[in-house]
Amino acid sequence: MKTAIAYLSYSGNTAETAEIIETKLRSTGAMVDMHRIGIDRPLNPARYDRLFIGTFTWERGSTPDEVKDFVREIGYKPDNIAVFGTGDTQFGGDDLFCLAADKLVTFYASKWEALKIEQSPRGAQENKIDNWLKGVLQHEPIFA
C-alpha cells in the first residue's frame, strides 16, 4: 500500500502524531511519503492508496490557512482520505476540540471519523492511534 501523510504542525504535536502513524504504517509494509503542508512541494493524491491529513485547530475552531491552501492544491475530493488532528480542550472546550479535523472529515466525506489527540500523542493516546489506524487499514469506517 502506498500512502502519504500530509500534516501541518506549529507546536510539534501534529508532527509527532504523523511520525507515529508513519512508523506504524511502515511496520505493516506500507510505503509512506511524508509531506509537510506549506513547506514541501505539492503532492499528487492520485498516486496514493491512502492519504492521511493532519492538522491542528486554529483560533476559535478554524482550519489553518496552510491546510486550506493544501485542500485547494488537491483540487478535487479523493475518497481515500483519513484525517487526524491535535488539540487542547482547555482552549475552547469540547465544542472546538479538533474542530478543524472534523471539518476536513465532513468536507472530504471521509469514511473514517477524525482521530483526535489531546496535545501530545504519547502514553494512553497511542492506543487511540492504534485503534483508529487499524480501522483505516482494514477499510472499515471507524466511529468512536
Residue 139: all three cell numbers together: 477499510
Burial of 92 (0-12, 13-18, 19+ CB in 10 A): middle
Closest by Cα among 50, 16, 53 to 31: 50
Q: Which residues pair with 128 in a beta bridge?
A: none
pTM over 0.95: no
> So what's the pLDDT on residue 48?
94
Domains with residue ranges and CATH for the chain: 2-137 (3.40.50.360)
Q: What is the pLDDT along the chain (144 residues), one digit of tens a residue?
A: 899 999 999 999 999 999 999 999 999 999 999 999 999 998 999 999 999 999 999 887 889 999 999 999 998 899 999 999 998 877 666 788 899 999 999 999 999 999 999 988 888 888 999 999 999 998 744 444
